[in-house]
Amino acid sequence: MDAPAVSVDARAKRATGPIVLLGAPGAGKGTQAKLIAAHFGIPQISTGDLLRDHVRRNTPLGQQAQAIMGRGELVPDQLVCGMVEQRLAEKDCEQGFILDGFPRTVAQAQWLDGRLQAGLLRGKPAEKVPLLVIDIAIDYALLVQRLTARRTCPQCGAIYNLQSNPPHKAGVCDLDGANLITRKDDQEAVIVERLKTYERETLPLTNYYQQRGALRRIDGAGTVEQIAQAVRDLLERRGS
Ligand code: AMP
């Protein structure tokens, strides 16, 4: 059966708007972003996934990013912002989108504010919904544990955890049967660098967004489902 026709106004009411997921590497941003994207029917935009795709395709951006990512440092703002700008211009972002891993610096946050204010989504429903920033807060000891136990599917991007969310068959993705991998930057030495980078560059963003009244905090220590429920409650409360 065809979906009933919806007026622009009704669509505008339903627009989820722009969402940013903040949190240290391993806090669960990717896992939660996928669940939110599926629940609200909006795209997940993971700058880490986009960059890894550039590396795989060996594009000029991928060539510049590869070594930086391997060291656990940040790819320059200008390159990442350009990549995000292109993705946000796609039609599926009209009703809203969830950014996972972006912004990661105050300069990137300022760029995003500027684009939203300048009508990046001009005339489209999502523009009318203010930016919501969800910070998944979590203890450092737990982060290292989670990152070393993380396995990902190189084909579909599904994320597993050997302890809390293992695949049905060891080493194989439940969704497409591909062999799971450990991300190169999930090795302990790189994890330590990524956490230092996070503290120096990304943690100041919580203040940045708090001052603007956009920040909501969620405890990231629970199970995937507990955190997902907390995120859904937050988003649904906002919509009412
Ligand atoms: P992630 O998958 O989000 O953990 O990102 C993996 C790596 O990609 C990071 O360690 C950075 O090197 C790079 N990266 C991802 N997002 C950004 C961003 N917003 N700004 C700069 N570098 C990024």
Instruction: Tell me the CATH number at 225.
Output: 3.40.50.300
Does 145 reside within a domain? no
Does 159 reside within a domain? no
Residue 93 to residue 42: CA distance in whole angstroms = 7
Q: Report the atom number in ligand 1 closest to the C-alpha of 197.
A: 10
pLDDT in tens, 211-227: 999 999 999 988 889 99
Which residue, chain included where needed, has tokens 């409650």?
233
- Residue 171's DSSP bridge partners are none
- Among 234, 223, 204, 199, which Cα is nearest to 17's? 234
What residues make up the domain containing 214? 15-140+203-239
Residue 9 to residue 26: CA distance in whole angstroms = 38
Q: What is the mean pLDDT of residues 88-107?
A: 92
Confidence of residue 64 (pLDDT cuts 50, 70, 90): very high
Q: Report the atom number in ligand 1 closest to the C-alpha of 52.
A: 8
Strand 215-219 relative to strand 132-137: parallel, antiparallel, unpaired? parallel
For ligand 1, say whether the CB of 68 is within 6 Å of any of its atoms. yes
User: Is 6's pLDDT higher than 60?
Assistant: no
Residues with catalytic function = 29, 104, 150, 183, 194
Which residue, chain included where needed, has tokens 């300022």?
110
Number of structural domains (the chain) is: 1
Does 172 reside within a domain? no
Does 121 reside within a domain? yes
User: Which residue among 29, 47, 152 has the greatest number of ligand 1 atoms within 8 angstroms of its CB, and so is best to mutate?
Assistant: 47
CA 139–ligand 1 middle distance (angstroms): 20
Does 23 reside within a domain? yes
CA 87–ligand 1 middle distance (angstroms): 16
pLDDT in tens, 165-203: 999 999 999 999 999 999 989 988 899 999 999 999 999
Its pTM stands at 0.86
User: Is 124's pLDDT higher than 70?
Assistant: no
Does 4 reside within a domain? no
pLDDT of residue 9: 39
Does 41 reside within a domain? yes
Supply 130's token pair. 């203010």
pLDDT of residue 104: 97
Expressed in percent and rounded to 5, the helix, strand and coil fractions of the chain are: 50, 15, 35
Give nearest CA residue, ligand 1 atom 12. 69
Lowest average pLDDT, out of 30-44, 128-142, 226-240, goes to 226-240
Strand 44-46 relative to strand 132-137: parallel, antiparallel, unpaired? unpaired
pLDDT of residue 238: 72
Q: What is the CA radius of gyration of the chain?
A: 18
Supply 44's token pair. 């997940």
Does 188 reside within a domain? no
